[in-house]
């Protein structure tokens, strides 16, 4: 029994093998910059910016101070028929970062809530335009869109939906874009754009006029970083336009500089109709998410409302929580003042050199990466995910935190990481993944 550890019977950890965890707990006690420390004081480099949320690194005093100030000034505001200035200020700042015209913001508390809110906003929009027959949603195999009802329905990662059919709605899936010939491609693959034709096929099969929206992660993050082939997103956009389908980019991971621009929509120069975001929205320190929609989509819903009823019967007790808005504003200040999106773009070359330097290791069967986001695919073991889980634990023991999904590691340090930090992370990866088994 370790005196530094608490009793672990009561907290049911999410997406965790709780049996194993209780035997071999991996606990963080403190964080600063791109480092965590265990209760024993052992340093663990943060190779995944927490869960891709702490873009500006841990322990940012500017955000802590803003949160404290907000708590002592106005700790909570309901947002049903009430509001506080801070949420309008935050929404305006976000609008300035988003692609032109996608500048109406609806707030929630998690990426999953953003996805479910986007589903409902899309349905409300179609109804407002007299297109209530558009009820079908499209996503992709291997997609991750959170774990609430919308996200579970859209999910393309098998374990995230297999046991939960009872809560899902009508979603159909395109193929993912990874193909064998893309192995070890740095940046956008040259081949695979034709997979966008799956959408055309679904439009023919179901009738494009029945499809409400297509949800796409511009880079599929949680499956292990699948970078869109050149021309793929453009083709998806064109097919959506042809059939009047709303295109949603789920930028919960790719938002806020991860790809080199504020949003992947800008980096890949393809403009969706809706963008979901969370994680780095507040640098990960206060739960918050947002759905950004095109101006005309909000206008259609507002214009269609009758009498004095609310236009959209949807929202959360903690929508636009003033403390989260204050944290978000402070995070945006840091991103601007430290030019963090530019910094991430500049750092990407060194980061991807480090990632692709792992190419010949015995455990590595594929590498993918773009911007400051990379996937390291491990040689599969006896059961899917076993190798990923073992590697993740061994890396932790060696002083590196990275997220594992199945047999892929997702390497995505904070945008404030130094080249020396990345080198040290790369050294640990090389050492652990260099073992023959």
List residues binding ligand PLP (CB under 6 A): 110-112, 115, 144-146, 217, 221-222, 250, 252-253, 278
Whole-number minimum distance, CB 89 to ligand PLP, in Å?
23
Q: Which is nearer to ligand PLP, 126 or 145 (CB)?
A: 145
Whole-number minimum distance, CB 119 to ligand PLP, in Å?
12
Write out the two tokens for 367. 């590498």
Whole-number minimum distance, CB 50 to ligand PLP, in Å?
11
What is the SS3 string spanning the chain? CCCCCCCCCCCCCCCCCHHHHHHCCCCCCEEEECEEECCCCCEEEECCHHHHCCCCCECCHHHHHHHHHHHHHCCCCCCCCCCCHHHHHHHHHHHHHCCCCCCEEEEECCHHHHHHHHHHHHHHHHHHCCCCCCCEEEEECCCCCCCCHHHHHHCCCHHHCHHHHHHCCCEEEECCCCCHHHCCCECCCCCCHHHHHHHHHHHHHHCHHHEEEEEECCCECCCCCECCCCCHHHHHHHHHHHHCCEEEEECCCCCCCCCCCCCHHHHCCCCCCEEEECHHHHCCCCCCEEEEECHHHHHHHHHHCCCCCCCCCCCCCCCCCHHHHHHHHHHHHHHHHCCHHHHHHHHHHHHHHHHHCCCCCCCEEEEEEECCEEEEEECCCCCCCHHHHHHHHHHHHHCEECEEECCEEEECCCCCCCHHHHHHHHHHHHHHHCCCC
Whole-number minimum distance, CB 65 to ligand PLP, in Å?
25
Whole-number minimum distance, CB 257 to ligand PLP, in Å?
15
Whole-number minimum distance, CB 221 to ligand PLP, in Å?
5
Task: Select the residue whose beta carbon is closest to ligand PLP and give its number.
Answer: 111
Do residues 315 and 322 lie in contact, with contact meaning Cβ atoms separated by under 8 Å? no
Q: Which is nearer to ligand PLP, 151 or 208 (CB)?
A: 151
Q: Which is nearer to ligand PLP, 208 or 224 (CB)?
A: 224
Whole-number minimum distance, CB 184 to ligand PLP, in Å?
24
Closest by CA to 366, choosing from 227, 217, 180, 195, is 180
Query: Phi and psi for 47 in degrees, rounded to 5?
Result: -90, 5
Q: Which is nearer to ligand PLP, 111 or 399 (CB)?
A: 111
CB atoms within 10 A of CB 215: 28
Cα distance between residue 425 and residue 193, in whole Å? 33
Residues paired with 213 in a beta bridge: 137, 246
Q: Which is nearer to ligand PLP, 143 or 415 (CB)?
A: 143
Q: Which is nearer to ligand PLP, 221 or 413 (CB)?
A: 221
Whole-number minimum distance, CB 289 to ligand PLP, in Å?
6
Whole-number minimum distance, CB 141 to ligand PLP, in Å?
15
Whole-number minimum distance, CB 315 to ligand PLP, in Å?
17
Q: Which is nearer to ligand PLP, 146 or 426 (CB)?
A: 146
Q: Which is nearer to ligand PLP, 116 or 198 (CB)?
A: 116
Q: Which is nearer to ligand PLP, 139 or 182 (CB)?
A: 139
Q: Which is nearer to ligand PLP, 144 or 268 (CB)?
A: 144
Q: Which is nearer to ligand PLP, 108 or 208 (CB)?
A: 108
Whole-number minimum distance, CB 412 to ligand PLP, in Å?
11
Residues paired with 33 in a beta bridge: 58
């Amino acid at each position: 029994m370790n005196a530094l550890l608490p009793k672990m019977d009561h907290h049911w950890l999410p997406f965790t093998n709780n049996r194993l965890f209780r035997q071999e707990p991996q606990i963080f006690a403190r964080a600063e910059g791109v480092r965590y420390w265990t209760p024993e004081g052992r340093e663990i480099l943060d190779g995944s910016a927490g869960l891709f949320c702490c873009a500006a690194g841990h322990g940012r005093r500017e955000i802590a101070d803003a949160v404290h100030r907000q708590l002592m000034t106005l700790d909570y505001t309901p947002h049903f028929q009430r509001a506080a200035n801070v949420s309008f200020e935050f929404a305006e700042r976000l609008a300035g970062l988003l692609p032109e015209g996608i500048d109406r913001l609806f707030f929630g508390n998690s990426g999953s809530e953003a996805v479910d809110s986007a589903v409902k906003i899309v349905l409300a929009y179609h109804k407002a335009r007299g297109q209530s027959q558009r009820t079908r949603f499209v996503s992709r195999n291997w997609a991750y869109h959170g774990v609430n009802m919308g996200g579970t329905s859209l999910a393309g990662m098998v374990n995230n939906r297999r046991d939960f059919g009872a809560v899902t709605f009508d979603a159909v899936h395109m193929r993912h874009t990874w193909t064998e010939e893309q192995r070890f491609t740095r940046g956008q693959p040259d081949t695979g754009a034709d997979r966008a034709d799956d959408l055309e096929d679904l439009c023919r099969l179901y009738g494009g006029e029945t499809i409400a929206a297509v949800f796409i992660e511009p880079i599929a993050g949680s499956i292990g970083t699948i970078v869109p082939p050149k021309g793929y997103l453009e083709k998806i956009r064109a097919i959506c336009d042809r059939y009047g389908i709303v295109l949603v980019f789920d930028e919960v991971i790719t938002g806020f500089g991860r790809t080199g621009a504020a949003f992947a929509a800008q980096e890949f120069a393809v403009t969706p109709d809706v963008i979901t975001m969370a994680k780095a929205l507040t640098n990960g320190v206060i739960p918050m998410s947002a759905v950004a929609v095109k101006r005309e989509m909000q206008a259609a819903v507002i214009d269609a409302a009758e009498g004095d009823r609310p236009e959209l019967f949807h929202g959360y007790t903690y929508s636009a929580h003033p403390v989260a808005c204050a944290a978000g504003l402070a995070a945006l200040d840091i991103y601007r003042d430290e030019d963090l999106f530019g910094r991430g773009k500049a750092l990407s070359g060194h980061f991807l050199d480090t990632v692709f330097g792992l190419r010949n290791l015995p455990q590595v069967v594929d590498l993918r990466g773009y911007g400051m986001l990379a996937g390291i695919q491990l040689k599969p073991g006896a059961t899917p995910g076993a190798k990923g889980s073992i590697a993740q634990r061994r890396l932790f023991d060696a002083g590196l935190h990275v997220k594992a999904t199945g047999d892929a590691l997702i390497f995505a340090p904070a945008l404030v990481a130094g080249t020396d930090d990345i080198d040290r992370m790369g050294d640990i990866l090389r050492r652990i993944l260099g073992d023959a088994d």
